[in-house]
Structure 1
Amino acid sequence: MQFVTYAGRSGDQAGLLVDDEVFALPPGARLVDVLGDLPAAGAAAMRDPAEVVPLSSVRLRPPIPDPPTVRDFMTFEQHIEGVAKLLDAAVPDQWYAAPAFYFTNPYAVIGPEDDVPVPPGCTMFDFELEVAAVLGRGGRDLTVEEAESCIAGYTLMNDWSARDLQFAEMEVRLGPVKGKDSATTLGPVLVTPDELAPYRAGNAFDLTMTAAVNGLTVGADRWSNMAFSYPQMIAYASRGTEVRRGDVLGSGTCGGGCLAELWGRLGFDAHAPLAPGDTVTLGVDGLGMQRSRIVQGIDAELDEFRARDST
């Protein structure tokens, strides 16, 4: 099954997508509320939809507009290796030990065709092609075997990145902060695991992931090339704490899924950073496509944030 959230007359409206038509769930019902049993929710919507609307007539929102948390992992070795070359480094040994992640901003989640402003102070704007798992139930100290059943579905994800801000702030030995929290694009659809089961391979699914800027393909990979599985990611995230229904866990960037990897392998002349007027198109077979236009953000200076005793 495939589910969407769209801008309805009275706010966000969730529905089941069937053959380019959306069968709406009851008014006020959010996908996050029914993630524990999406098949039942979809069957009810087919029997007695609140409305039936053509997909082409609605503005899609993120499938989960208000996730409790968004964790972003790094599971594609090709991406890690390519970006490491920017710093004349290699893939760190610790990367192989466990699926590392950071928390990004759940307030910055936007829809699959929303405009994306350049973050304040950024001159090296970039995209990241990923696939996220959305949890239908949570738990604490889950085993890898238990974690598999927590997945309600998968959705396309773009972790927008202000590379110059990210690289500067990580010199302080903390994770990315303002370099990563301006926007995260989710959608267009949330796809249940059973629909993808025929493509199961490796740690994910044998489906193509493709990134293009202004119509020119700049990178592609196979989703199955993840070095860690989603159950491993979920179980690791739950160690000593909780994961909850609605949590979003991104795969991290696939191989060739961002400009930073191009810069690391081929130099900064390989592709210009994103700028207002550019259009980024990301797609994953079975999960649909995002088309995002870059627009001007606000101007900002960092001097006002400088430590008072600095010279």
Structure 2
Amino acid sequence: MTLSINFGGGHMPMSRIGGTMLYASLPRGLPCWVDLCSTEPAAALDFYAALFDWEYQTQPVEQGGAGEDYFVATRDGIPVGGVSARRAAASSWVLHLAVQRVGEAAAAARRFGAQVLRAEEELGALGRRVVLRDSSRAEIALLQAGDGWQFEVGRPGSLIWAELITNRVRFADHFYETLFEYEAREFGDGRRSDFVVWYVGGDSVLARVRMVKDAGPQTEPHWLVYFGVDPAVGVDQTVARARSLGAELRVEPFDSAYGRIAVLRDVTGARFGLIDAGAATGHESAAVYDPYDD
């Protein structure tokens, strides 16, 4: 099971079949975890439990001899991500990419211009990770999966896609394509629409989108993670539910080549997207529609 949106065939196979990725099926560079670093973790836990029917398991995270609570979110008993406390910065979702040896991968990332934001740490059965700021200034994590790691993708309430939104596209392309040896395919005209899709083993796994020029100066490069929506419920109803729980709508629901999309901020300020991938036919990104000028 791979995390894939296959535009060449005009469909999104991951979103249609879904599945649980296991340790043995984890190629280097594949999205393998998402972690909400929240300024108000209690509020975040309640929000996503109500929106996606998530439940939580608590486990300690050991770093530098000090432990703190880490919440593993599950849906139908399968992990879909984590929630942890963040005290010094704004809330955000942090995408994790798979590596075989986290120490070696982190050293290579530093050589390519990354900075370490959070030193290597143990996430229990999930494995070991390090959190970086890549050379385009976006936050990203590298995860060396443990033997007990598993991760639900492509189903309602789980990760379905992720895009790097940045105005430092040359830095981003060099960093990720060198570190993970992604195959890259460019779409758009390079001006209004500059959209690169990265592939692992022939499967599309991630995209890089040039930030629109009128983005506010306070807008930093960032990864935008998208969660699947139950087609029986739909994006519009899910957005209405999220807003009733206190979320802020950033991009109104619209039909696109992905399917139907919306982008919100949760109750703690973290951006996330929704996709109902019933009719994906080509490349298009919510980043084109939202300048993220907040």
TM-score (structure 1 length as normaliser): 0.26
Q: If each structure's strand is expressed as a fraction of its own residues, which one has the higher value?
A: 2
TM-score (structure 2 length as normaliser): 0.27
